Structure 1
Amino acid sequence: MQNFKLMATVGAGLEALVAKELKEMGYATQTENGRVFFNGTMEDIYRTNLWLRTADRIKIVVTDFSARTFDQLFEGVKKYPWEELLPYDAEFPVNGRSKNSILHSVPTIQAITKKAIVERLSDHYHAHGHLPETGNRFVLETAIDKNHAMVTLDTTGDSLFKRGYRTEKGGAPLKETMAAALVQLAHWFTDNPFVDPTTGSGTIPIEAAMIGRNIAPGLNREFDISQWDWFDKKIGQSLKAQARQMIDFDVELDIEGYDIDGSMIEIAKANADAAGVGEDITFKQLAAKDWSTDKINGVIVANPPYGERLGDEDAARQLYAQMGHIYNQMPTWSKYILTSDEGFEEAYGAKATKKRKLYNGALKVDLYQFWGKKIR
């Protein structure tokens, strides 16, 4: 089976998590900003799309070469045997990016890449310069960085955060990939309680339950590669069947999600049911300030409303103060709170054990970590 150079694209700040996931799956990795490289077969492409929780996409690195002129770009692209990847009727949109390079016009980079591929395929298929593009989708990108061009083919389609379970979002939703990252960063073990006190549409508890039950995040969706004629569909069917067998139906989970908005709780319940973990999470309408517990050794992961996100800084800081009042009396619990508000610690009333910079989309946020002292 053919071996490909592959690239997992990832949100800024999550590269180490994706590399860790890949290493645990048995792949050697090389990490750069926003991407993690590894090698694999068609089976590995499908497996990583199916199982990676914190990556955005899996791309094939088709070709790379030096490109200081548009002629070099054209010839470098045309040189690749595109007929091995793209059938006669392939729909192949071309995206582009440029950074620190002589060739900086993205529309021109896209147009020249497209023209080079059309010429190559037209010669091969005797198409006289016209290709129908009525078939399956093959999304390409030419990224030029420091005068080095890399052309990639996206195998994923809709980004991997689209798990297929979110029926409704509500306001200011957190991407599923980021929610999974927060659960992983919290080092939660399934024999400990897990609480999200500002759950919104339920994404964080749902991702926790899917991790706890070992449910593959891509189990309820498909990927662009599944439609390609050179991909053996039996690979996907087999890997999904294996994934279903790997679900842990026996583990007992203690996961709770609360929100002050009752309509959001109903959305969260519907989303959890769609994800197959409705029975694993207790959702309840409750303000963060009204929550208390006698349990020990738990984990709190929260993405509370913050000023830039929902427009009311005073209300957000009042919420942080309420959280601090409750949580600072819970020494065995670890708390992980995501916010862009740099005044968070002052409002919360305690300094974090550790602070980690992340990006929620384009917004820089910090994950404030307060580590509990576990009692056994």
Structure 2
Amino acid sequence: MSSTHIKLIATSPMGLEAVVAREVRELGYEDVQVENGRITFIGDLAAICRANLWLRTSDRVLIQMAQFEARTFDELFEGVKALPWSDWIPEDGEFPVEGRSHKSQLSSVPACQGIVKKAVVEKLKQQYGTEWFEETGGRYVIEVSLLNDIATITLDTTGPGLHKRGYRKLVTEAPLKETMAAALVLLSRWEPERPLYDPFCGSGTIPIEAAMIGWNLAPGLRRTFNSSSWPIIPEELWEQAREEAFDLVKDDIPLQIGGSDIDPEAIEVALAAAKSAGLAKELTFKTLPVHKAMPAGEYGCLITNPPYGERIGDPKEVERALRQLGLTYAHMPTWSAFVFSPSKDLEHYMARKADKKRKLFNGRIECNLNQFFASGGLYAWKKQDREQGGPAAGKP
């Protein structure tokens, strides 16, 4: 496999494929294919570094080693053994094998994992001239995924999922993943010149992700990845990718981002996370019930994931919280609201039909991103700015 022509996969939560694809294209990679749960694109070794540092809504970045038909264990073994494993995995590398199978004749996942492991060992034995591998070095997670008798063999460059940014040491109950929070902000089309507020902020994930987007902070800057220590990727490529990310930070933009929550412990967690992310001075968090949350400014975005299920066990409490959200939003005529919720009655509590809905999954829970646009359309503020010659003047 050429190091200048690598097939990469950015995995995606269900429903966010278009968002991940847009992020990949914005990184400059054009040969982008969108499939269920994955976006494939062609890159080089530097693309592994840049994709891991920059992708906000993807779960992880994989190298597609091969894809071939495998109806028998022999076909699977030979297909895997034919691959250039020693190009990637050094003699001391740790290479666990994960697997899954759907609608395929090779339905036993443990058996498939065993065959793949054996095939990789046989290939590395030939290359390194040894009978035993200590596996004490860097981590190279191989996955065999079978779908309709087609085996896809991948190598995981990320390690712990991309949602683990590194700023959140503590969590509240049922926290929203950072990747999903970033997706909600991106789907709102919010721009950093405008206010943004989350009245059910929990551990502060939506405001923190919004601030990172507003300042163009690469979400992976504070962490390392499995591939950070791989010999095949020169250290200078990681250094260049990080330098590029630091150069692109726009921390001179004043932000008007805040959040509130009725739980004082959640606010403590949010404040700690904001401090860890280097954004404590830019974000405002308060302990408030939703009916007292009245954010300052006009033409902003209210983006929120109201509590349900694990966070509030009592359905009446959930109903009360949604009703209060509707009453609060009624006093915010110039704001657009983006409410991520599994509730089928949300429009009833908001006292209006959503202008747009997008089905997304929070883990395995089916939710809708209910979009309520401000009076005068999605961005009434843009119209106002054009009339006054403000920041939105001249924008489409």
TM-score by length of 2: 0.92
1:208 to 197, 207, 210: 210
For residue 48 of structure 1, give the secondary structure of its aligned residue in structure 2.
helix
Q: How far has the Cα of 1:292 moved from its partner?
A: 2.3
1:321–1:349 Cα contact (<8 Å) kept: no
Which deviates the most, 31-40 or 131-140? 131-140
2:173–2:310 Cα contact (<8 Å) kept: no
1:121 to 119, 124, 137: 124
Which deviates the most, 310-319 or 207-216? 310-319
- Find the aligned partners of 2:245 and 2:112 in 1 and give their Cα distance: 40
Question: Paired residue for 2:236?
Answer: 234
Letter in 1 for 2:21: A
Letter in 1 for 2:284: T
For residue 281 of structure 2, give the secondary structure of its aligned residue in structure 1.
helix
Write the mapping of 1:96-245 to structure 2, written as runs, cut at 5 A: 96-128=99-131, 130-245=132-247
Say whether residues 1:95 and 2:98 are aligned partners.
yes
- Find the aligned partners of 2:84 and 2:19 in 1 and give their Cα distance: 34
Seen in structure 2, the aligned counterparts of structure 1 residues 348 and 308 have a Cα distance that, compared at 3 Å, is farther
- Find the aligned partners of 1:295 and 1:81 in 2 and give their Cα distance: 58
Say whether residues 1:31 and 2:34 are aligned partners.
yes
1:194–1:299 Cα contact (<8 Å) kept: yes
Say whether residues 1:306 and 2:282 are aligned partners.
no
- Find the aligned partners of 1:164 and 1:55 in 2 and give their Cα distance: 16
Question: Paired residue for 1:46?
Answer: 49
Letter in 2 for 1:316: V
Letter in 2 for 1:18: V
Question: Paired residue for 1:22?
Answer: 24
Q: How far has the Cα of 1:123 moved from its partner?
A: 2.1
Question: Paired residue for 1:331?
Answer: 333
Question: Paired residue for 2:265?
Answer: 263
Q: How far has the Cα of 1:358 moved from its partner?
A: 0.5
- Find the aligned partners of 1:5 and 1:218 in 2 and give their Cα distance: 21
1:6–1:39 Cα contact (<8 Å) kept: yes
- Find the aligned partners of 2:129 and 2:27 in 1 and give their Cα distance: 43
1:172–1:310 Cα contact (<8 Å) kept: no
Letter in 2 for 1:98: S
Q: How far has the Cα of 1:82 moved from its partner?
A: 1.3
Letter in 1 for 2:324: Q
- Find the aligned partners of 1:263 and 1:101 in 2 and give their Cα distance: 48
1:78–1:116 Cα contact (<8 Å) kept: yes
- Find the aligned partners of 1:121 and 1:22 in 2 and give their Cα distance: 33
Letter in 1 for 2:22: K
Q: How far has the Cα of 1:62 moved from its partner?
A: 0.6
**Which aligned segments of 4 or more residues in structure 1 are displaced greater than 6 angstroms?**
none
Letter in 2 for 1:34: G
- Find the aligned partners of 1:75 and 1:205 in 2 and give their Cα distance: 50
2:280 to 278, 284, 289: 278
2:197–2:295 Cα contact (<8 Å) kept: no
Residues 193-250 of structure 1: per-residue CA shift (max 9 Å, x gap):
1000011110000000001111100010011111111110111112112211211121
- Find the aligned partners of 1:291 and 1:364 in 2 and give their Cα distance: 27
1:318–1:347 Cα contact (<8 Å) kept: no
Question: Paired residue for 1:292?
Answer: 294
Seen in structure 2, the aligned counterparts of structure 1 residues 124 and 220 have a Cα distance that, compared at 3 Å, is same
Q: How far has the Cα of 1:343 moved from its partner?
A: 2.1
Question: Paired residue for 1:356?
Answer: 358
Residues 1-24 of structure 1: per-residue CA shift (max 9 Å, x gap):
532000000111110000011111
Runs of 5+ in structure 2 lacking a partner? Answer: 385-396
- Find the aligned partners of 1:219 and 1:150 in 2 and give their Cα distance: 30
Letter in 2 for 1:68: R
Question: Paired residue for 2:392?
Answer: none
Identity of aligned residues (%): 47
For residue 268 of structure 2, give the secondary structure of its aligned residue in structure 1.
helix
Seen in structure 2, the aligned counterparts of structure 1 residues 115 and 286 have a Cα distance that, compared at 3 Å, is same
Seen in structure 2, the aligned counterparts of structure 1 residues 309 and 262 have a Cα distance that, compared at 3 Å, is closer
For residue 182 of structure 1, give the secondary structure of its aligned residue in structure 2.
helix
1:91–1:133 Cα contact (<8 Å) kept: yes
2:329–2:350 Cα contact (<8 Å) kept: no
Which deviates the most, 24-33 or 289-298? 289-298
Write the mapping of 1:72-83 to structure 2, written as runs, cut at 5 A: 72-83=75-86
- Find the aligned partners of 2:49 and 2:207 in 1 and give their Cα distance: 26
For residue 264 of structure 1, give the secondary structure of its aligned residue in structure 2.
helix
- Find the aligned partners of 1:360 and 1:307 in 2 and give their Cα distance: 12
- Find the aligned partners of 2:144 and 2:34 in 1 and give their Cα distance: 19
Pairs aligned (count): 375
Seen in structure 2, the aligned counterparts of structure 1 residues 178 and 294 have a Cα distance that, compared at 3 Å, is closer
2:200–2:304 Cα contact (<8 Å) kept: yes
1:57–1:159 Cα contact (<8 Å) kept: yes
Letter in 1 for 2:326: G
2:173–2:311 Cα contact (<8 Å) kept: no
1:99–1:145 Cα contact (<8 Å) kept: yes
1:308–1:340 Cα contact (<8 Å) kept: no
